[in-house]
Homo-oligomer: A and B are copies of this chain.
């Protein structure tokens, strides 16, 4: 999971730039809630296999209280196909599939949920879509969500900067 770890699996060559930790600030809104901001830390690691381990945590920008978290794996397939599997402490799991492209020196990862699982007590999230852009040491993303009667709507945006890697 570090620079001292095993050699990188060759399938991860297109996502080498994601390895490390990124921190920064984000903002969220949605038709059914008040707008909010957050501070975020994202880490991508590897163990020598053809996937990245992904963890994400957000905290309140003033109090530092924990807000959201996610954890899972990004699987890199031939031809730029990518698969993201995640669990959320809100009782939701998701499978997202998409593609990885390079444009003018930036790496763009677009993913859309193909499966969502919910515990009996979880909120009624219907779909998620994400777009990550890595430009050097800056990782930004947008997230769109459909929830109950609300169709897919932009929900989150953040800009993070590499702090280790």
Q: Residues of A at under 8 Å CB distance from B?
A: 6, 47-49, 51, 53, 55, 65-66, 69, 71-73, 75, 77, 83, 85-89, 91-95, 97, 114-121
- Residues from chain B with a CB closer than 8 A to the CB of A115 are 93, 117-118
If over half of A's interface residues share one DSSP class (helix, strand or loop), that class is named, otherwise mixed; here it is: strand
A66 touches B93 (CB 8 A): no
Give the residue of B51, B66, B117 whose beta carbon is less than 8 angstroms from that of A89. Answer: B51
Copies in the complex: 2
Asked whether A71 and B53 contact (CB < 8 A) given A117-B116, A119-B97, the answer is: yes
What residues of chain B lie closer than 8 Å to A121, measured between beta carbons?
75, 77, 83
Asked if A89 contacts B120 (CB within 8 A), the reply is no
Q: Given the known inter-chain contacts A53-B69, A115-B117, please indicate yes or no for A85 contacting B92, CB distance below 8 A.
A: yes
Kindly state the separation between the CA atoms of A65 and B6 in the bound complex, as whole angstroms: 9
Residue of B47, B55, B114, B119 near A85 (CB, 8 A) is B119
CB < 8 Å: which of B85, B118, B119 contacts A87?
A: B85
- A117–B85 touching, CB < 8 Å: yes
Closest residue of B by beta carbon distance from A52:
B89
What separation, in Å, do the CA atoms of A119 and B92 have in the docked complex? 16
Please provide the 10 A-B residue pairs with the shortest distance between their CB atoms, ordered closest to farther: A115-B117, A72-B87, A93-B93, A83-B119, A73-B89, A85-B87, A95-B117, A47-B66, A71-B71, A87-B87
A to B CB contacts below 8 Å, 16 in the list: A48-B66, A53-B71, A53-B89, A55-B71, A73-B87, A73-B89, A75-B89, A75-B121, A77-B121, A83-B119, A83-B121, A85-B117, A87-B93, A93-B117, A94-B117, A116-B117
